[in-house]
Amino acid sequence: MANIVVEKTLPVSPDALWELVKDFGNVRWIPGASETAQVEGDGPGMARILGNPEGGSIREILDSIDEEGRSITYSIPEGVPFPVSRYCSTMTVSDDGGEARLSWSCDFEPDGASEAEAGGAIEGMYGVMAGWIQDCLKE
């Protein structure tokens, strides 16, 4: 299995970022998702189902929350929107001199693409997600 780590520093409060990230069922930071998202359950094991712009849906499962370490781990068991067959990511929030550092550590299995191509697609999406989160927290 391959791994990629992506870190983004955002000019937002680390506490505010953690409150948003740990609330896995809250998708207000994802443009358009509030109208179509479905949430099943609560806490570890819960699922959020998001519409995929290319059709179908993406089912993300919250695997764990670490309050002390300010991290969540989630997986996409099938229908991954990247050229990968397995996807599991940990998002960690930390303080970076008063700004928030958001880190993703993603384990994945390339499928139909090289490891570099698959990792690049994931890294690109994390950049987009960081922008959405920053925009949401600046509102």
* Structure confidence by residue, pLDDT tens digits, 1-45: 999 999 999 999 999 999 999 999 999 998 888 778 899 999 999
Report how far residue 106's alpha carbon sits from residue 102's, in angstroms, rounded to the nearest whole number: 13
Q: Which residues contact 131 (CB under 8 A, 6 or more apart)?
A: none
Question: What was the pLDDT predicted at 53?
Answer: 66
Q: Give the confidence band of 132 by pLDDT, cuts at 50, 70, 90.
A: very high
- Does CATH number 3.30.530.20 belong to domain 2-138? yes
- Residue-wise pLDDT for 59-118, tens only, equals 999 999 999 999 999 999 988 888 998 999 999 999 999 999 999 999 999 999 999 999
Question: What was the pLDDT predicted at 54?
Answer: 67
The structure tokens 């990247």 sit at: 82
Reported in sequence order, the residue ranges of the chain that DSSP labels E, i.e. its strands, are 2-10, 38-40, 47-51, 57-66, 71-75, 84-96, 99-110
pTM greater than the 0.85 cutoff:
yes
Tokens of 18: 């953690």
